Amino acid sequence: MKTGILGMGAYLPERIMTNDDWAEFVDTSDEWITSRTGIKTRRIAAEDQSTADLATAAAEDALKDAGLTAGDLDEIIVATDTPEMYSPDTASFVQQRLGAGPIASYDLGGSGCAGWVMGLDIARSRATDNRKIMVIGVEVITKLMNWDERETCVLFGDAAAAAVVGTGPEAAEVLAATMGTDGTQTDILGMPLGGAREYFNASHLETNAHRHIVMNGREVFKNAVRRMGEASQQVMDKAGVGIDDVDLVIPHQANKRIIDAVQKGMGLSDDQLYINVQDYGNTGSASVPLALWEARSKGIVRPGDLVLLTAFGAGFHWAAALVRF
């Protein structure tokens, strides 16, 4: 019996926003955005859609793919930086909407864009005794970010993707996984306002400061490339394989420049790399599972393939996993 992914699902909002659309809000252009990020379009959640809405839809899709019902679940993990509300956590809403029993349901909140891969590692360790665990990556960041900040607002999109993790002969086996955190880098990426350290007050409304995303691009780039490369090597070493044995690498889809640097550093061929950042932008914790779901749906991931997942995010967190389909 193998422990791994039993089924996958995703949800993408209907609204598509192009780079030209963004030019109506901020001083930018398709050429400016594309040359710096590789992003062409992204999805935007509707006004009446929340994080739990997207997460529930993706989870239902994953259950259908796995041939299971909500009643079969033993645990729900939601990785998100854009929760349904401050408290309770998003997983509580998802558990109720799915109609699952009174099972453990919790968020990996603030785990950054590495959240879903971290959740996959956690789920693998808990999928014993035929337990089935739902792992969801979801972001509705366009509702929280500042639409006037040209350097950051054009980078993000909304999406959700999910996987059911458990044991079975047909599971896509998680052969190895790793994750880590460097707390000395908490200042290079994040949304500082709103917590107990610097709580929100009325004065922040005047400058929209509560929607401000801090991003030190140079340091994020350097750390992301380094940590994704190191984490990838660690899981390959654990599994006893080399990069030539890997059929497909799915990195966090933050921007094309980071992906290009990871490709060069790892010595990957174009055929070994899956990229969809041009279509969806940075969807945070949904990024890696969304790309994996899409590659699998397109038949790019085939039975027997060895797929390497690697991601980074605020914290500064990173994670990687090696999966045999």
**Catalytic pick from 113, 153, 210, 255?**
113
What is the C-alpha separation between 142 and 90, in angstroms, rounded?
17
Which residues in the chain come in under a pLDDT of 50?
none
Task: Give the residues across from 313 on adjacent strands.
Answer: 317
Q: What pLDDT does residue 320 have?
A: 98
Structure tokens at 38: 């590789």
Q: Which CATH superfamily is domain 175-324 in?
A: Thiolase/Chalcone synthase (3.40.47.10)
Q: What pLDDT does residue 204 have?
A: 77
pLDDT tens per residue, range 164-198: 999 999 999 999 999 999 999 888 788 777 788 77
The reported pTM is 0.95
Q: Which CATH superfamily is domain 2-170 in?
A: Thiolase/Chalcone synthase (3.40.47.10)
Token pair 């005794």: residue: 129
SS3 call for 31: helix
CA-based nearest residue to 160, from 294, 297, 34, 33? 294
**Catalytic pick from 153, 212, 223, 252?**
252
Task: Give the residues across from 10 on adjacent strands.
Answer: 161
**Catalytic pick from 19, 223, 255, 282?**
282
Q: What pLDDT does residue 295 have?
A: 98
Among this protein's residues, is 252 annotated catalytic? yes
Strand order, beta sheet including 104-109: 104-109, 75-80, 133-139, 159-168, 2-11, 172-181, 317-324, 306-313, 248-251
Among this protein's residues, is 113 annotated catalytic? yes
Q: What pLDDT does residue 111 have?
A: 83
Q: What pLDDT does residue 215 have?
A: 79
Task: Give the residues across from 134 on adjacent strands.
Answer: 76, 164
> Which ranges of the chain would DSSP assign to H, the alpha helix?
19-22, 30-37, 51-66, 90-98, 115-126, 150-153, 203-207, 217-239, 256-266, 277-280, 287-297
Task: Decide if 2-170 and 175-324 have a common fold.
Answer: yes
**156-174 b/e (C-beta count within 10 Å ≥ 16 → b):** bbbbbbbbbbbbbeebbbb
Q: Can the peptide bond before residue 192 be classed as cis, meaning omega within 30 degrees of 0? A: no
Domain map (residue ranges) of the chain:
2-170, 175-324
CA-based nearest residue to 155, from 280, 276, 257? 280
- Cα dist. 131→62, 69, 103, 164 in Å? 16, 13, 11, 10
